[in-house]
Amino acid sequence: MNGDAVKELATRFRGPHEVGTDFVAMPNDWQLIDTDAAIKPGPSAAKLVVSSLGAVRDYLTANRDELVLDRVVVHVASPSVVRVYGPLAERARNREQFLEASCTDLADEFLGRFMALEAFIVGLQVRFADANDRHRLLSLLSNVKHETVKTAIDDGVTQVVQARAGVALISDVAVPNPVLLVPYRTFRDVVQPESLFVVRVNQGKVNGLPEVGLFEADGGAWKLTAMARIKDWLAAALPADVSVLA
């Protein structure tokens, strides 16, 4: 290689040199720069927040944002959360979230603890649908007066509680376990899943008044049922091009 050729090569590689179409080589400090990575992505849209599956349907059916529906993914994240995502970004490898629907689980703070009888009866009527064993449980608890609660038999399956009516009537009432109830804890657009619960009655710490507790007994199977119902509802209500995952 003659001197002119060496001089030409030195001149050619002294500054930045393109390698292919995507990268630039910097010979002085041996850096390889990705030119596309140097370009900052534009801002993402703020997600819409709604509280029903109907709102998800209306948003995607109207499609005011002109989304490419066959690249939209609706993700049923839980019985109380549904998210709408766009396609995977080509270089950033993330997804833009357009909408999130969430609902309130009315049974969340009601289960797994003992409470005053009156609060339990009110909560049972407000937080649970009028179905299955709710009426039977309310009838049972209405016979337990603000007297001393005496447990006569308790084998973990059936608990016999002494119920007093005034001072003349004393009767033994069996507390059935488990009971089948329907709490409001997923989107109201779908049929609420029924679940098994264990009912316990104790003598309270305040003036000996009775306390009642309700405890889950289905191992969380209701969540799978609720998510399947949400997916089926969305699949029937949304445009055919939209993918629904649960």
pLDDT digits (tens, 9 = 90+) for 210-232: 889 999 999 999 999 999 999 99
Instruction: Give exposure, 155-190, as e/b (b: 16+ Cβ within 10 Å).
Output: eeeebbbebbeeeeeeeebebbbbbbbbbbbbbebb
Is the confidence at residue 93, as pLDDT, over 70? yes
Q: Which domain holds residue 141?
A: 114-218
Q: Residue 3's pLDDT is what?
A: 56
Instruction: Look up residue 39 and give its two tokens.
Output: 């370009």
Does 211 lie in the same domain as 118? yes
Looking at the structure of the chain, the number of domains it has is 2
For the chain, give the number of residues. Answer: 246
Q: Alpha-carbon distance 177 to 137, whole Å?
A: 10
Q: Do 28 and 121 have their domain in common?
A: no
- Across the chain, mean pLDDT equals 80
222, with CB counted inside 10 A (0-12, 13-18, 19+), is buried
Whether 227 maps to a domain, the answer reads: no
Residues 118 and 30 occupy one common structural domain: no
Of residues 5 and 61, which shows the higher confidence score? 61
Domain annotation covers residue 207: yes
Angle, CA 105 vertex, CA 100 and CA 110 arms, to 5°: 160
pLDDT reported for residue 159:
62
pLDDT tens digits, one per residue of 105-122: 999 999 999 999 889 999
29 and 120 housed in the same domain: no
In a domain, 159, yes or no: yes
Which residues are CB-neighbours of 205 under 8 A, at least 6 positions away? 211
Its pTM stands at: 0.73
Q: Which residues pair with 161 in a beta bridge?
A: 151, 173
- 157 in a structural domain: yes
Residue 60 lies in a domain: no
30 and 119 in a single domain? The answer is: no
Assigned token pair, 80: 């109380």
Residue 9 lies in a domain: yes
Mean pLDDT of 119-142: 91
| Residue 148 counted as domain residue | yes
In a domain? residue 90: no
Domain co-membership, 30 together with 126: no
Query: Predicted confidence band at 23 (pLDDT cuts at 50, 70, 90)?
Result: low
Q: Using an 8 Å Cβ cutoff, are 125 and 118 in contact?
A: no
